[in-house]
Structure formats: structure tokens, C-alpha cells
Amino acid sequence: MPHAASPTILYTAAHGGFARESVPLGGGAAVFDRLVEEWSRTRPFEFRLITPSILGRAAPRGADLVRFGEHDYADFCRAFERAATSEILKHDPATTIVLSNDISEGPDFAALDRAGFRVFTIYHVDVVAYVAAIYGRNRIAPETTVRWYRRLRPILPRITRLIWEKQEASVRHCRGLIVPSPGMRDVLLRCYPESAPEKIHVLPWGAWEDSPAPSPDGLREEFGIRDGARVLLTLSRISPEKGQDLLLESLLDWDPPDLWVFICGGAAYMQGRKFEHKLRKIAARFRNTRVIFPGHVTGERKRAFFALADLYIFPSRHESYGLTLVEALAAGVPAVCLDSLGARSVMRKDFGAIVAPDQLQSAIKALLESESRGAMSRAAREFAAANRFADQAARLTKILI
């Protein structure tokens, strides 16, 4: 039961409240849903949710969000910022703490700070680092873009404020920043060296408890997978930063007949549909290997795919943590990852490998043929069991109150 003197937490989330919709909203929405579930069970404090439903008749569905273009999404960010900020300002800052699940979509951090609110922000993605990695192709350091933005702001499009200004405002005006990896903390400190290191809290989310996986026999029958075939699995939204093209391109000159590659996930956000078209064009070049796009999968079907897989492949170009990677490990699936902040914070050699793109095929071959995959599976489960989401939710509670 919450203590009588505990403050009320206002938890604001632009991608929250869509749990009943099967759409690929990403890790931020997944963490929101799990935190709400955990805090509803443990009741460490009173909390209220501020989600897009606050926009009334103008509120988008989850399916709308993942289809918005850049300008439509920017309009949504601004509308949600205004509505969330207005709602928060109705409360007493002496008895209210604000937790933002967003940066670009978050409330007006400066206005809330001026009003005396204690505000904390969860960083699911370092937006500045993401833009530098994906649009800048890792040729420009994130901290360089921060310096450039401050000089070029008058001549840049207004939409860029949702990236650089909102992130800098969250760093400057929040009491605490919650990040999932030490690497993300280090990048933030390089971008904003004036920030106090002690206010950046590293909480790797870990694995949540789930019901046992169903048998994969139904999937084997559905797709006609013969005994002895080997199965690779990726599971994320289809978007350039997720790097599914790097996986497919690495396998083209191998193309064995007994290999199945499942690219689970739905196209989402600004470049998703164009990227999915690219993936399907690459997949059509295989003569022997089967490449399947099952779409966005959840619940029992997702757990069945983990049970089906011999290896989980995590080929992201940019990843802050990697919730699906942890889910795969909890299911006992060894993994091969491309190097990213997320992979480095999770992976251990006991249950997989982190490699460069040109090493992806050889690493997959080696692990598929390895006699130690059983031991790797056990190590993966043990790692996930020792890193529980419930423990991190409890740590977050202590940070907030």
C-alpha cells in the first residue's frame, strides 16, 4: 500500500494507452505498459496516466501514430505537449511528481520546472544520438550536432526543435534522467557536459515474467518447416535503424536450403514502409533460404516464435537497450548482435556474440554448428532470471520518491 505521505505521480506517455491495439509502437510503449502493470500490482504510490486520450476527439489511434509522416507526427507532438502540460499545471507541485515517458513528445519541461514540479524523464531513445547515427550515418558525433544546432537554430526548420531543443530542455530542467545503459549516459554527458552525472540513473530494464511458451509445432505446420531446418529470428518494428537489411545482405552468398529467416514486425514510423519494400526486394533474391515476413506478433504467437528459433539475430544500426533481445534470452535463445549501446549493455559471450556487419554470416554459421548451444541457452535464461524488470521498477520507485 502507498504511504499516506507519498506524492502522486503523473505519468505522461505519448505512446501510452494503446495496449489493446496490436501495433508496433516500440520499446517505450512496452515499458509504459509493464510499469503500469507492475505499479498497479505493487501500489508503491498513487499514480495517474496522461496519454493521448487527453486530446479527446483529436486523439490518434496507435495505428495512426505509426503511419504519420514527419510533419503529422510533429503536429501530434506539439498537441500532446500542450495538452499534457496544461493538465499537469492543474496539480499542486508540492504533492505531485511528473514522470515523462517521452522526450520529443514530452511536456514543456521548462514551464513545469518554473512552476516548481519535480520532473523525471525516461530515455528510451537518445533522439539526438539516433539522428546522428541514422541520418548522419555515424559520420558526425552527437555532441557535434548539439554544438552546431545552437549556432544554426535561426535558419533550421521548426521541426528540428523537437529533437535538439526538447532533449536539451529535458536535460536542463528535469530532476532525473532514466537511461537503460551506461553507454547512453556517457553520450548524454558528452552532449551536455554541464549536466550533473548523478542525476542520470542507469536502469537496464531486464526481463519481465511471462507465461510459458507454447509449442512451436503450430508454426512448423503453418509454414511447412521440416525437421532439421534451422531458424533465425528477428523481432522488432521494420525501420532502417533495426538493420534487418544487414542481416539479409549478409546471408545472400550463403543461401542454404535448410535455413528459414523470420523477420517479425510491422512497418512503423516515417521510413518504415519504404524500408519494408527494400527488405522484400532483398528477400526475393534468395533461391534456397526462405525469408518470411509474419508481421507484428504479440502474446502467445511471439513466444512461439522464440520457441521455434535456433538463434535470435539483433542487427540494429542504433539501439539504446534492446527489450526484444532480453525477451529472447529469457526464452533461452542464443543471440548474434551487431555492435550498439544496447547490445553491449546486455550481451555476454556465454550466450552469443557481438560482431561487425561483415562478420555476421560467419558468426551465425559458427553458432548454428556449435555443440555448446545448449549451454548457451541455459546461460541466457540464467542471465534473464537474474535481471528482472520488477527489480528495475522498484529501483525507479526509489528514484522518484
Residue 140, CA distances (Å) to 135, 188, 315, 344 in order:
10, 15, 21, 21
Report the pLDDT value the prediction gives residue 5, as an integer from 0 to 100. 64
- Phi and psi dihedrals of 110, rounded to 5? -65, -45
Nearest to 399 by CA among 185, 206, 101, 122: 122
* Mean pLDDT value of segment 57-66: 94
Q: Is residue 258 part of a domain?
A: yes
- pLDDT at 133 > cutoff 90: no
Domain around 24: 8-208+389-400
Band of residue 139 on the pLDDT scale cut at 50, 70, 90:
confident
Q: Is residue 3 part of a domain?
A: no
Query: Do both 370 and 224 map to the same domain?
Result: yes
What percent of the chain lies above the pLDDT cut of 90?
89
Query: Do both 169 and 102 map to the same domain?
Result: yes
Band of residue 136 on the pLDDT scale cut at 50, 70, 90:
confident
CATH number at residue 51: 3.40.50.2000
Average pLDDT of the chain to the nearest whole number: 94
Nearest to 201 by CA among 184, 218, 177: 177
Band of residue 21 on the pLDDT scale cut at 50, 70, 90:
confident
Query: Do both 247 and 394 map to the same domain?
Result: no
Query: Do both 160 and 202 map to the same domain?
Result: yes
Query: Do both 147 and 81 map to the same domain?
Result: yes
Q: Is residue 2 part of a domain?
A: no
Spatial CB neighbours of 57, under 8 Å, sequence gap ≥ 6? none
Query: Do both 93 and 21 map to the same domain?
Result: yes
Nearest to 257 by CA among 287, 282, 232: 287
Query: Do both 234 and 139 map to the same domain?
Result: no
* Mean pLDDT value of segment 140-144: 94
Band of residue 4 on the pLDDT scale cut at 50, 70, 90:
low
Q: How far apart are CA 340 and CA 345, in angstroms?
A: 9
Query: Do both 20 and 146 map to the same domain?
Result: yes
The answer to whether 362 and 379 are in contact (CB under 8 A) is no
Spatial CB neighbours of 47, under 8 Å, sequence gap ≥ 6? 8, 9, 10, 11, 39
Q: Is residue 1 part of a domain?
A: no
Q: How many domains does the chain have?
A: 2
Query: Do both 119 and 253 map to the same domain?
Result: no
Q: Is residue 85 part of a domain?
A: yes
Nearest to 335 by CA among 349, 323, 321: 349
Query: Do both 154 and 240 map to the same domain?
Result: no
Query: Do both 203 and 307 map to the same domain?
Result: no
Query: Do both 394 and 374 map to the same domain?
Result: no
